[in-house]
Amino acid sequence: MINWISSLPNFSAYGTPVYFVYLILALLPLGIGLYFGKRFSWYEALVSFVFIFLMFDGSSWQQGISLIVYVIYETLLVMFYARYRQRQNSTGVFYLLSGLSILPLVIVKLSPAMVGHNSLLGFLGISYLTFRAVGTIIETRDGMIKEISPWKFVRFILFMPTITSGPIDRYRRFEKDYRKVPSREDYLNLVSKGIFYLFLGFLYKFVIGYFFGQNFYPFFEQQAMINHSLFSWSMLGVMYTYGFYLFFDFAGYSLFAVAISYFMGVQTPMNFKQPFKSKNIKEFWNRWHISLSFWFRDYIFMRFVFMATKKRWFKNRNALSSTAYMLNMVLMGFWHGITWYYILYGFLHGFALVANDWWLRFKRKRLPNLPHNKLTTGIAIFVTFNFVMFTFLIFSGFLDTFFFS
């Protein structure tokens, strides 16, 4: 059986134009049903199973087994806590179940640094699935989810368009959207938007992202290694070309996921909103990888602020918010990986959020007459953009190769 599965062709999500042809043809009956006001849940489940299987067969069959084990594990945790929450509300049990839900991801992230190789528990998309599972437990704790069945949770956590690359949805929003079959007019509007996002995603990923990732970035990377100077035009080239490649590649993936979701009658939230137009770092995180930044904001930042305020850990409100910013962003850095450049990336963004709040307070008190016009807005966008690009250079890991190879 394993030999047969490992011999099958593997289709990475949104990896080639051929993938889209197969996927859209498979979703056509589902779209016809939605056009006539019917959601064929059984057919959707079948298509999702086939395409998820094709993502994790072939050379990725071990990841496929890890995915199955992981989903069973998380489903048992969520179902146990959902039933427990109907009777009791112990803080200790909540933290225990949340910790157990996060544990597989922690093991996967720590394994390369601790044992020198990737964990067998790992599979493509484990981070996004973990955020959905933990978010479901948190919403159950808060009383926002009153009832949930194993099938509904599995359907949510394994929603095929977003399984490997997000965006990170919330159970309540997804389930409400799924239950409501859109009207014919609304569905045609979703399809229209989905087609636009699909072609925009092709432009981002397969055209612009390809040129930055396959041509420009490798060229400047090679030149920077030859020059071996930290302060050089080639290093600036590495910084900007990687930053643009990261955006166009990831934004392209996210647009594909949103487009396919729309074809399936589910309005998955957008993940990017012109982030390079941001006037400060806080606005940037409201525009960049929105589902991830909002997840950390709601479940890390806000909960820490609430707990610290309740327990009176801080006398100064600014000290509290600054600590919460640093905790939030450093944890995000650790989430990306246990390496110095990911952690430094998170630290710098946390520090920038602290500095941004300080600047706004300083400007309000000491510079009340500072003009707000196109020039000052342009300067703010320029400074924010270049700070973000610099941190992307750190995030890329190129400096690790540059300094230590």
Rounded-to-integer distance, Cα 230 and Cα 317, Å = 39
Residue 97: Cβ within 10 Å count? 21
Contacts of 285 (CB under 8 A, 6+ apart): 293, 297, 349, 353
Rounded-to-integer distance, Cα 108 and Cα 129, Å = 13
Q: Kindly give the residue spans of alpha helices, DSSP state H, lying in 116-183.
A: 126-141, 150-157, 171-179
Q: Is 126 left (phi over 0), alpha (psi -120 to 50) or beta?
A: alpha
3-state secondary structure of 256: helix
Contacts of 137 (CB under 8 A, 6+ apart): 77, 78, 81, 94, 97, 98, 101
Contacts of 336 (CB under 8 A, 6+ apart): 342, 345, 346, 395
3-state secondary structure 197-245: HHHHHHHHHHHHHHHHHHHHHHHHHHHHHHHCCCCCHHHHHHHHHHHHH
**DSSP assignment, residue 119?**
-
Contact indicator for 65, 5 with CB cutoff of 8 Å: no
Given the residues 117, 228, 336, 349, select the one marked as catalytic.
336
Structure tokens that stand for 44 in this block = 């959707």
Q: Is 336 a catalytic residue?
A: yes
Structure tokens that stand for 223 in this block = 């030149």
User: Which amino acids are annotated catalytic?
Assistant: 336
